[in-house]
Structures are given as C-alpha cells and as structure tokens.
C-alpha cells in the first residue's frame, strides 16, 4: 500500500534521506523510529506530497505521489506533529470544512460527526472556537477530521504528543482496530513503548539510512541485545545519535 524505491532527499548539499526502499502492506501498522534529525519527518513529507524527493519514487496504493499527487492525497490522511488548524472556526465548522474539502456529502459529514465527536469526547466542545481548545482537544479534533474521508493510509508524526492517558489508550486501540479493518498506518514516534504496543513492523532510520527493519522480535534478534526496544534502539543508534 505504501511503496518507496530509492528515495533520496538533499537539502542543498546535505543528504537527509538516503536510498530509502521500503514497502508497507495493507493493514500494517508500521513504526518509523530514529534519533532527532534522522530523516523521519522528511520521509513523511515526501510520502505525503509536501516535499519533492530529490530522486527515487513513492507510491500510495499504486499511485505515484509526485506524478499524481491529488489522487494519492485522496487515499491518505496526514497528521503532522504540529497540525495547522483554522482558529476562527468552531470545532464543528472545522470538521465540516475538512469533509467538504474531500467532497463528502452533508449527510455523510453529519453521520460521521456524531460517531467521531462522540468517540473523541468532542461533543461538548462542538461549538468552541478552535483557538480556545486545549492542545489535546485540538489533537483529538485533528484525529476526528483525519478519519472522515476514510483514508486507506494514515500517516502520523508523533501521534501521542500532548494527549492524556485516557486518550492515548483510546488512540492505541483505535489504530489497531483501523489496521485490522484494512487501514495502513505509518507513524513516527520517539515513544518506544508505543511501537512495542502497536507496531506490526518497525523501521529504524539513522542519518538518513534505514538500518533495521522487521518485527519487534526480528529487530531484537538481529541487534544481539536481549533487552526491550529501548535498549535495542540505543544500541543500534548509539554511533549516530548526538
């Protein structure tokens, strides 16, 4: 469902992502890990059409993200670590606006509104202006809006930042549930316990290069460390981390 072939990104002469080749099948939760500055966000931005790769290609559901960006975007949702929201809209207006952008009917938006606002505990905040919502509530609104057009692929940069433990638990089970229903989820995180809890497979990137790929057990066994993911991660990335 997500395919990358020899993806590269240069910022000037700086080589931020190096020959990244990776496939993520339908229904997989893939966690992309790496130290600060490793190239995770750059990769996400190339996959979501926000950055043009310097070379290489990427496809979402077989659609080339550079050649056919609109079609690719219809099939995906992207939750950045600091999403942009329209402050002067109410939570309901924001949700409706996003649905309209995706060309959904009023009926579909209203139906999804009830389900989604109830799930994310947003019903009592429906009339609040986005600018008056707390960070966590804004994040919940972004989640709600991201699922609205039923994307095949969900990209999330740091999914749990600023969320309370109840919401974290709800998001984790939601991600597993969505993947079970066929959604492909590609996320980056520094919270290694999240990867342990939800990932089908993990990729570790260091200085722009993929240095480990596999299930948690596979990564543990190739690293030669018997500890948890944190220990394995620290061992694998110690030479490239600050």
Site residues, ligand ATP (CB under 6 A): 11, 14, 16, 34, 36-42
> Considering the complex, what minimum distance in angstroms separates the CB of residue 11 from ligand ATP?
3
Strands 29-33 and 184-188: parallel
> Considering the complex, what minimum distance in angstroms separates the CB of residue 189 from ligand ATP?
9
- Strands, E assignment, 102-183: 153-157
Which CB sits closer to ligand ATP, 14 or 103?
Answer: 14
> Considering the complex, what minimum distance in angstroms separates the CB of residue 89 from ligand ATP?
28
Interatomic CA distance for residues 8 and 21, integer angstroms: 10
Contacts of residue 207, Cβ cutoff 8 Å, sequence gap at least 6: 18, 38, 39, 240
Of 156, 209, 206, nearest to 8 by C-alpha is 209
Interatomic CA distance for residues 116 and 39, integer angstroms: 32
> Considering the complex, what minimum distance in angstroms separates the CB of residue 66 from ligand ATP?
18
Which CB sits closer to ligand ATP, 11 or 86?
Answer: 11
- From residue 182, give the alpha-carbon distance in Å to each of 83, 136, 151, 153, 160: 25, 27, 10, 9, 22
Which CB sits closer to ligand ATP, 36 or 239?
Answer: 36
> Considering the complex, what minimum distance in angstroms separates the CB of residue 17 from ligand ATP?
7
Which CB sits closer to ligand ATP, 49 or 99?
Answer: 49
Which CB sits closer to ligand ATP, 126 or 190?
Answer: 190
> Considering the complex, what minimum distance in angstroms separates the CB of residue 126 from ligand ATP?
32
> Considering the complex, what minimum distance in angstroms separates the CB of residue 42 from ligand ATP?
3
Q: CB of 58 within 8 A of CB of 66?
A: yes
Half-sphere exposure of 202 (CA within 13 A, CB side): 27
Which CB sits closer to ligand ATP, 14 or 124?
Answer: 14
Which CB sits closer to ligand ATP, 38 or 145?
Answer: 38
Interatomic CA distance for residues 10 and 75, integer angstroms: 27
Interatomic CA distance for residues 152 and 7, integer angstroms: 22
Bridge partner list, 94: none
């Amino acid at each position: 469902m997500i395919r990358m072939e020899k993806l590269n990104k240069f910022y000037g002469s700086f080589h931020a992502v190096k020959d990244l080749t990776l496939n993520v099948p339908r229904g997989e939760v893939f966690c992309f890990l790496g130290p600060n500055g490793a190239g995770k966000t750059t990769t996400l931005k190339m996959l979501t059409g926000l950055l043009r790769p310097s070379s290489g290609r990427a496809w979402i559901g077989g659609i080339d993200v550079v050649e056919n960006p609109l079609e690719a975007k219809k099939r995906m949702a992207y939750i950045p670590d600091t999403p942009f929201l329209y402050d002067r809209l109410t939570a309901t207006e924001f949700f409706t606006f996003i649905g309209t952008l995706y060309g959904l009917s009023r009926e579909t938006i209203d139906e999804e509104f009830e389900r989604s606002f109830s799930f994310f505990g947003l019903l009592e905040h429906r009339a609040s202006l986005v600018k008056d919502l707390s960070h966590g509530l804004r994040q919940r609104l972004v989640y709600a809006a991201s699922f609205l057009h039923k994307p095949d692929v969900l990209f999330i940069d740091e999914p749990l930042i600023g969320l309370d433990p109840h919401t974290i638990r709800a998001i984790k089970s939601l991600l597993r549930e969505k993947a079970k229903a066929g959604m492909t989820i590609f996320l980056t995180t520094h919270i290694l316990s999240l990867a342990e809890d939800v990932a089908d497979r993990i990729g570790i990137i260091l200085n722009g290069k993929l240095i480990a790929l596999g299930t948690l057990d596979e990564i543990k066994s190739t690293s030669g460390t018997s500890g948890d993911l944190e220990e394995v991660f620290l061992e694998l990335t110690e030479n490239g981390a600050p």
